[in-house]
Structure formats: C-alpha cells, structure tokens
Amino acid sequence: MKITALIDDNLIAEIKELTGGRNITDAITIALKAYASQKKLDKAMKMIDQEPLQFQEDFTAYGIRKINRNR
C-alpha cells in the first residue's frame, strides 16, 4: 500500500538504525511488525494474568513424555 505520512526525519533515521532496514520502507515495516508482535504478547500476558493457566491434577512429565513418544 502506498501512503503519505509526515514523520520526523530524526525518528526515521533512528528507526532505520535500530531495525537495520535497507531503506525507509523496510525499516518502517520491520518496526511495525515488531510493534504488532509486542502488542499481541502484551495482550496474551494480560489474559494469563487475569486467568492463570492451570495444569490438570494428573499432569506429570512422564505422562507427557509418553504421549510425545507415541506420536
């Protein structure tokens, strides 16, 4: 998608340096993907914080190992 955006030159230079992007488009794409990924992790962590994961009462490492070996 082609867009026009007014972004400070210093910010663009910093993003290019931090991401190692070859050009402005590459740098912004890398930065946006990293931002989206971080937000997804934040959302998952918040969900887990609200409702922690719980193991089944009969959960054992031996049982999981047995299931994995039978695949």
3-state per-residue secondary structure call for 53-64? CCCCCCCCHHHH
Q: How far is CA 71 from CA 7, 59, 65, 66, 68, in A?
A: 52, 18, 10, 9, 6
Look at residue 49 and give its three-state secondary structure. Answer: helix
User: What's the rounded Cα separation, in Å, for the pair 12 and 59?
Assistant: 50
How much is the pLDDT for 67?
86
How much is the pLDDT for 8?
97
pLDDT digits (tens, 9 = 90+) for 11-61: 999 999 999 999 999 999 999 999 999 999 999 999 999 999 888 888 888
User: What's the rounded Cα separation, in Å, for the pair 30 and 15?
Assistant: 9
Q: Is the pLDDT of residue 9 over 90?
A: yes
How much is the pLDDT for 50?
95
How much is the pLDDT for 21?
95
